[in-house]
Amino acid sequence: MDDFGAFSALEQQGWSDDATASAYASAFADAALQCVPAMVAAVRASPGDQALDLCCGHGIVARGLADAGAAVTGIDFSPAMLALARKSVPEGTFRKADATALPFDDDSFDVITIGFGVPHLPHPPHCFAEARRVLRPGGRIAFSVWQAPPASQAFGFVFAAVAAHGDPSVSLPPAPGAHDYADPDVAGPALREAGFGDVKLETVDSHWMVDDPCAPYDYFIEGTVRGSALLRPQPETNKTAIREFVGKQVIEACGETSPWRVAIPAAIVSARVAN
């Protein structure tokens, strides 16, 4: 098994920062919000369901589940995110916990969602196994993952800019691929191994509408952990060059005038407990 201990520590520390959590919620997550209806529909949330939102973040999927009538429990490793989630879904129950070692009895929930949390886990199959354990017979799971470039202009523009103008001495610790589980050939076998069947994948054409063509750089450096770990340590001249190159790419791909529509599509993967 790969050793992603340094990556896990980076994630834990980064997402517990109030400023990073708030920046994600206020800007980057505009695209994540567009995926909530598909997530709720994928698990067929309905009144009376017991729903568990893993890696709940600031609570947008939990809000969607609650609006569908489900009783919502959310967990996250970030106290900063949990504070935001409690404000968004005051009727929900939120607690700090590990998605790979859930503090719940077997057969406790009808549906489970994971909104963009899978890439932040060092070993997602451990999470899927725990999800299967706490789901009731017939229970459903759905998770979202950002698609990779070239479909994702947002990721493509920012990381192409880093490749072109970044200081090569700045690097990230070994980590799972950020887009691995948007691939059905990765997600499907992992879910089936955990005891799920009827695996499906759909795409949501989520996007950002921005008035500044350099905004994707700002969203990554201020409201992500992997992105900020790669961008914040850059020398100032490199940061400037990276940001300007992001803006140049947005204008070339998305037009000369604002607002710019920057694609950041998501895969919604769903499954149900196998018979």
User: Are the beta carbons of 257 and 250 closer than 8 angstroms?
Assistant: no
User: Are the beta carbons of 217 and 243 closer than 8 angstroms?
Assistant: yes
- The pLDDT, as a whole number, for residue 1 is 52
* Structure-block tokens of residue 155: 């990721």
* Structure-block tokens of residue 203: 């795409």
Query: Which residues of the chain are under the pLDDT cut of 70?
Result: 1
- The pLDDT, as a whole number, for residue 3 is 78
Domains and CATH numbers, the chain: 5-147+172-207+264-273 (3.40.50.150)
pTM equals 0.96
Rounded distance, CA 233 to CA 63, Å? 35
- The pLDDT, as a whole number, for residue 274 is 86
Residues 6 or more apart whose Cβ sits within 8 Å of residue 202:
38, 42, 267, 268, 270
Rounded distance, CA 167 to CA 30, Å? 30
- The pLDDT, as a whole number, for residue 224 is 97
* Structure-block tokens of residue 186: 């990765």
CB atoms within 10 A of CB 137: 10
